Every structure is written in structure tokens, then in C-alpha cells.
Amino acid sequence: MRIDTIRFGPLELGEETAIQFPWGIPGFENLKRYVLLEHGNGPFQWLQAVDDPRVAFVVCPPEVLGIKYKVPRDNIAQLEVEHPDDLLVLTIVSFDREKKTPRPHLTGPLLFNSITRIAAQWSIDSRDLPKYIESVE
Amino acid sequence: MLVLTRKAGESVRIGDDVEVIITAIEQNKVKIGIRSPRHIPIYREELYQKILQENRHAVGMDTGDMDLLVDLFPKKTDAAVRKRSSLAGGKVPGSEKSETAQQDSLG
């Protein structure tokens, strides 16, 4: 499938590489298909919308930011994850241009079933964050 | 806006597949239950607005921001990153080249 992007030009990727977001991502509900693109060998990737050249998020494993999520059973059930190892969590990151610091979007991690390639954004009330996040070394 | 009066235990049906049930009424709080198909996401409004703003902010990232971001982090290929790679559909064209160039200038 051909994917037009404003950042990377046109891409040609197999249909099987698409990741489905059946519930969409708040703010971009009409976009249901994304692809994950490696950026060099670094810890970050782009989650590029297949059907909108402008929409792409920078993501990384939460461990890169020194944290880990405790994902509630309901969220795992929503994605029909059978084995805990099949669940993948990625955090959206942006960059604070003034402070020149990373800005992790901790309250909206993305959850993936790596077997079915179905994903959803988990929105967490910031007051509940301590309950769901633990730090890793 | 349609406004309906309901008592605790009563419900409202929206379309043929969504049911909103008033489960309890306290002094200044109403507890509601929602029965709906799985494909309809449900959020508390203020949480939805918050996450929507965060997401809109996040898509403002361009490749320049990414380069600055990458420089702030040590290169890691730990287990989490490798596992994540299995979902990746491809690589950003040229993103590897710029890294090689960086390494060259360091070495």
C-alpha cells in the first residue's frame, strides 16, 4: 500500500504492516490505520497514519523514559490479548522547543496487541497516574 | 439538547444498542452505567478533552524535533525496543544515514 506522508515523502509498505486502531485516537477518530516506522536505531519510532499524510506521533517504549505501566485487566481484555507478552505499550513523546526537553504524554499510552496488530489509546486521569506507573532503573 | 427526567434504576436508550442506566443518585453526584457495543469508546468528558489536546499537540512534531529528541537519549536496543520492532512496518528513509554520519563525525 502507498502511504503519503508530509514528513518522509511517499512510502510503500505491505498491507500486513498496518496496525488497526478500531476506536481511533481521540482527536483523530476517523483514522483507523497506522504504521510504525523505525527512526534509525534510536529508541523512538513514528506512528504514521496511513490515511492522513499529516498525522504522525513520535513514540517510544515507556522504559526509555524510566517508567513502566501497570495495565488494568479491562484494557488488556479490550484488545483481546491472550498472553501478557503479546501486550506492547508505547508512550507518545513530543519535544518542548523552548525548554529543549522531551515531553512524554504519560496520560495517554498506546496499547498494542502485537499478535492481532490491534491497538488503542488508554486515557488515564492524571490523578490516577501514580497507581498505574512504576519507575524502572 | 434533549433533557429527560429519570429516577434511580431507570434508564435511557440511545439507538438500538446503547443503554444509559441511572444506578444511584447521591447529594450532588449521579452514578450512571452504560451498556454499549465494544466499538464505542466511552470517556469522562474532561478526560476526553485533555487527551484530545495532548494528541493534537503531539502531532505537531516534525523531523527536526525528532533529531533534537534523539540526541537527548542514549542509543538503546534493550528488550523492550527489540520487541517493539516486531510491529514496525519499515524504517524512515534516510534516518539511518544521518545516524551513520553522526557516528562518523564522532569517530
pLDDT tens-digit readout, B19-59: 999 999 999 999 999 999 887 888 999 999 999 999 999 99
Taking an 8 Å cut-off on Cβ atoms, the answer to whether B51 and A64 are in contact is no
Q: What is the distance in angstroms between the Cα of B65 and the nearest Cα belonging to chain A?
A: 6
Distance CA A78, CA A5 (A): 30
Q: Give the predicted TM-score (pTM) of the model.
A: 0.87
Q: Tens of pLDDT along A11-45? A: 999 999 999 999 999 999 999 999 999 988 778 99
Joined together, the cell numbers standing for residue B48 give 476526553
State the DSSP code for A123: P
Query: How confident is the model at residue B82, as a pLDDT?
Result: 61
CA end-to-end span of chain B: 67
Cβ <8 Å between A64 and B76: yes
Closest partner CB to A13 (pick from B48, B86, B90): B90
Query: CB contact, 8 Å: A30 with chain B?
Result: no
**CB-CB under 8 Å, A97 with B73:** no
A104: nearest CA partner in chain B: B58
Q: Residues A133, A67: contact at Cβ < 8 Å?
A: yes
Q: Where are the alpha helices (DSSP H) in chain B?
A: 45-58, 63-72, 79-85, 95-106
ipTM reported for the complex, 2 dp: 0.93
- Copy the grid coordinates of residue B95: 534516518
For residue B64, name the pLDDT band (cuts at 50, 70, 90).
very high
